[in-house]
Chain A
């Protein structure tokens, strides 16, 4: 039988029991509005559920009964014993059908028209006796089988009502009296009035035994409603608590046994072992009682989606995968609403209407997929739709409108970061508020609710393709795994969920401080730190004293070590101390908690803190450890709050922004080599095509140039500096640079290393051939300007290099000007070039000249950025590019409003006058030969100053 039906039966049987009592009460207190309301609700629920489950007969009877009750409730109809009898009759019919349903799994055949007619008559205010003529025959002809079955199956409740003392015959007789009550006579009133008196003192105890007896009679089939038992959650909670205590006690016992019985042959060993097993099983069993399939939380969703689809004229298919995945009831309750909300959102905002979907080339039927599965102590719930995804532009506009971020900040954010804004309070991009969503409450509440139970929510969305929300929640809240740490002489538990990793400082990686704020270099980023003992106001001195105090009395090796350690600390005054750092993650915010010691992880039972201590937000609860001591559980959220990170979503955004920022000035792989003098030289590895060892004797000379036969071609070699001795014998390392079909080599003395570093050129190069100096691997290193060498070879890298580029005439005048960019805020340059070689080469050059460079490999991306509202002071674009070329790009940019007035500089190796003319035509302001770096710089600074002039005039 369907789970839903089983549940319905259980519920309905309970409701019916209740109804019997209430109806009887009603008769005694006909004007009790509360009671009427309650009866009405109960019947209404039965009717509603029947409709939902597709039980038409039951629904019909209940419906007509409800009608009459509705009139009672509204005061249109006076409650008379006659009517109450009628309602009882109606209930009996319902009970009969329910019993049949329970026995056979389907509604029995039969006709209810006569009872419905009576109910309708009552509804219209007529007395039941008005149609009394048909009554006599009614039970007889319409439901002889019914009554028989009635008598057999469905009497437990009646028996209960009548205190289980009457025989079947008596009951039948009574029922007949009920049914055939001839109008508002005294007798009819007396009969039901009797019943309550009989059952009133002990309704439940009699009901319980009555049912099983009935079962036995009807052939031993176990009634469905008997297989499940409703137990109040409190009972389960209590049981859970007790089991937890039992587990703790067992742990204690085991510990004692381990310590006392040296060989483990104590007579306690075996019983303890057994206890151990039983307790484990018990714990599991009790945990199980709390587990429920997640499908329970989903049951209402198909209906919601169906209604939603109708209302919004959409076609939506809801797929549910993994309904049987079980999780703790408590967790289930907490995620029910967020889930409903999100699925609704997906239907309302996500899925487009059929026309739009068709136009977008998608099937008319949108799909929302709800999926749940276990993953390492967590439940993962995914809500995916194939709708339109989040509208990044709308979010951006809303962010700006709400002042949540500045345009500059937005510009630096990735689409994903921008999408995270939907988790902010009051953020809805729905254009109109529908009955379903768009009120701007929701996603923030969803996030808060999920985070409250230690879960997290992630969002990925692709505009036009749909979005996916991934919720990760712990299986249960009752027992969590926690890391036990010590600070200031006290132990604390940190929920394992929040702990990312444990780090111990080493001699060469110590905690550093910035104006007293401790930070730690964790791999490639700086981790903000908080000291737990400082945070909790447990000063280190205190703990030291305590440690020293406790040490002599303790025999424990651990403690002796501890004392030694603390002695060392007192001598060395915390220097060179190995700190333990618990790297903690709250949302996307990482921070480190400095603790004194780290112990094991333990499964703990979280208990709420006492009312007195509720205000301390650093604790989320407390618990009792296996050794019986009480320990406080730290709340990572609270700690994050204390350290100044208030809103974790905001943090996520800023942290991500910081990350993006870091990546924009990301580390570059550098090739380090020595040539001529002792200063190491560095060149971006990405520029180097190959490293070769060239046999010096193979080097041929042509004029004053050195060439070597290389891969069937002549490759020109240039010594890095005159001081590089080429000699006549042996091999020399050569850095080979290649661009399209040209290549050249730079002869150096020695290849040192390949390293990753962020190039921060601190001194500008005075020599030609050097961009400047930077600190790499703690050494001053010259950054090589590859362009200079490329230029110095006369094999023309740029065929038209000799053509006077358009702007080169201004070169001399502007060369000093470009330095002014340094002092002002950095000018932003967008460099579009399909060749990674040039992008890599020009970026350091432009950086050194003080520009902020963004590089893109094709115009399409650039246009996308333009649409997203990015702003640049100058755009440099290559002309020859696959796909859209520079000319087309310029044309597009000029058509587009955002960058219409941004000056554009063309870079090309084809700088014929015709090309230049064409460039000017499509909107380039300047045309520079590729690789004429001086000209490029001059042109840039000139263009920018012109632009400023224009702006001034404009203003």
Chain B
């Protein structure tokens, strides 16, 4: 995964960026999100997760990824998306995206993974101020795609928001 443009700064929500970047699109319910591809370590199928009692509700548990312990976070729960789909069936969180933050691994449980997209900066928009605060806090911006909008997930912010 050698991508040259690696100066993407997510730490301070700095939106002044140029050229284009690569994102992995993931789906949760009917919304799609983009995760900067350089921050992704792994994409996993459904894993055996050990529940961690007394943990924040968003924490689904811990899992073993090649000998490293990964904390699984339920993205639905953090974003306030119900655990059931519109049709009432229980959401089947079948995949997760592993990211590293502060030297620790986190697995973000999502519904499914889509394509890797290279997006032009000119299509980038800051997060609308009217967005649900739960979303606004963890999004670094939005890309206007053809026919849909891609919310970019700010991974460090997202994980820190669970931490709080």
Q: Is the interface of B mostly helix, strand, loop or mixed?
A: mixed
How far is B59's CA from A622's CA once the two chains are assembled, in angstroms?
15
Q: A611-B102, A611-B104, A612-B59 are in contact. Are A248 and B67 (CB under 8 A)?
A: yes
A630 and B69 form a contact (CB under 8 A):
yes
Q: A629-B48, A629-B64, A630-B69 are in contact. Are A610 and B104 (CB under 8 A)?
A: yes
Which residues of the partner chain A approach B145 to less than 8 Å between Cβ atoms? none
Chain B min CB distance to A240 (Å): 12
Which A residue's beta carbon lies closest to that of B103?
Answer: A611
Looking at A249, A613, A630, A631, the one whose CB has the most chain B CB atoms below 10 A away is: A630
Question: Is B96 close to A, CB under 8 A?
Answer: no
Which A residue's beta carbon lies closest to that of B61?
Answer: A630
A616 and B54 form a contact (CB under 8 A):
yes
Which residues of the partner chain A approach B142 to less than 8 Å between Cβ atoms? none
Give residues 41-83 of B contacting A (CB, 8 Å).
48, 50-56, 59, 61-64, 66-67, 69, 71, 73
How far is B86's CA from A240's CA once the two chains are assembled, in angstroms?
49
Which B residue's beta carbon lies closest to that of A619?
Answer: B52
Question: Is A632 close to B, CB under 8 A?
Answer: yes
Q: A245-B67, A538-B53, A624-B67 are in contact. Are A611 and B163 (CB under 8 A)?
A: yes
A537 and B50 form a contact (CB under 8 A):
no
A616 and B55 form a contact (CB under 8 A):
yes
Contact-size category for A: 20 to 34
Which residues of the partner chain B approach A631 to less than 8 Å between Cβ atoms? 50
Question: Is A57 close to B, CB under 8 A?
Answer: no
* Among A488, A490, A612, contact of B162 (Cβ-Cβ < 8 Å): A612
A536 and B53 form a contact (CB under 8 A):
yes
Question: Is A628 close to B, CB under 8 A?
Answer: yes
B50 and A490 form a contact (CB under 8 A):
yes
Give residues 201-245 of A contacting B (CB, 8 Å).
244-245
Question: Is A99 close to B, CB under 8 A?
Answer: no
Chain A min CB distance to B153 (Å): 17
B69 and A624 form a contact (CB under 8 A):
yes
Chain A min CB distance to B58 (Å): 9
Which B residue's beta carbon lies closest to that of A623?
Answer: B69
B67 and A488 form a contact (CB under 8 A):
no
How far is B71's CA from A613's CA once the two chains are assembled, in angstroms?
9
Give A624-659 as 1s and 0s: 1 = Cβ < 8 Å from B's Cβ atoms: 100011111000000000000000000000000000
Question: Is A675 close to B, CB under 8 A?
Answer: no
Q: A607-B69, A611-B104 are in contact. Are A629 and B50 (CB under 8 A)?
A: yes
Question: Is B29 close to A, CB under 8 A?
Answer: no
Which residues of the partner chain B approach A537 to less than 8 Å between Cβ atoms? 53-54
How far is B55's CA from A618's CA once the two chains are assembled, in angstroms?
11
Which residues of the partner chain B approach A536 to less than 8 Å between Cβ atoms? 53-54
Which residues of the partner chain A approach B59 to less than 8 Å between Cβ atoms? 612-613
Which residues of the partner chain A approach B159 to less than 8 Å between Cβ atoms? 612
Give residues 120-161 of B contacting A (CB, 8 Å).
159
Which residues of the partner chain A approach B64 to less than 8 Å between Cβ atoms? 624, 628-630
Q: A610-B71, A612-B159, A624-B69 are in contact. Are A630 and B53 (CB under 8 A)?
A: no
Chain A min CB distance to B150 (Å): 26
Question: Is B106 close to A, CB under 8 A?
Answer: yes
B67 and A612 form a contact (CB under 8 A):
no
B104 and A613 form a contact (CB under 8 A):
no
Chain A min CB distance to B152 (Å): 22
Chain A min CB distance to B66 (Å): 8
How far is B159's CA from A630's CA once the two chains are assembled, in angstroms?
20
A612 and B55 form a contact (CB under 8 A):
yes
Which residues of the partner chain A approach B162 to less than 8 Å between Cβ atoms? 612
Which B residue's beta carbon lies closest to that of A616?
Answer: B54
Give residues 573-624 of A contacting B (CB, 8 Å).
607, 610-613, 616, 618-619, 622-624
Chain B min CB distance to A632 (Å): 6
Which residues of the partner chain B approach A612 to less than 8 Å between Cβ atoms? 55-56, 59, 71, 73, 106, 159, 162-163
Which residues of the partner chain B approach A610 to less than 8 Å between Cβ atoms? 62, 69, 71, 104, 106
How far is B53's CA from A445's CA once the two chains are assembled, in angstroms?
31
Give residues 809-864 of A contacting B (CB, 8 Å).
none
Which B residue's beta carbon lies closest to that of A612?
Answer: B163
Interchain residue pairs A-B with the least CB separation, the first 10: A536-B53, A245-B67, A630-B62, A610-B71, A630-B50, A616-B54, A624-B64, A612-B163, A610-B104, A630-B64
28 residue pairs of the A-B complex, CB under 8 angstroms, read A248-B67, A490-B50, A490-B53, A491-B50, A536-B54, A537-B53, A537-B54, A538-B53, A610-B69, A610-B104, A610-B106, A612-B73, A612-B159, A613-B52, A613-B59, A613-B71, A616-B53, A619-B52, A622-B69, A624-B64, A624-B67, A629-B48, A629-B50, A629-B64, A630-B50, A630-B62, A630-B64, A631-B50
Contacts A249-B67, A538-B51, A618-B53 aside, 11 further interface pairs with beta carbons under 8 A come to A490-B53, A610-B62, A613-B55, A613-B71, A616-B53, A616-B54, A618-B54, A630-B50, A630-B61, A630-B62, A632-B52
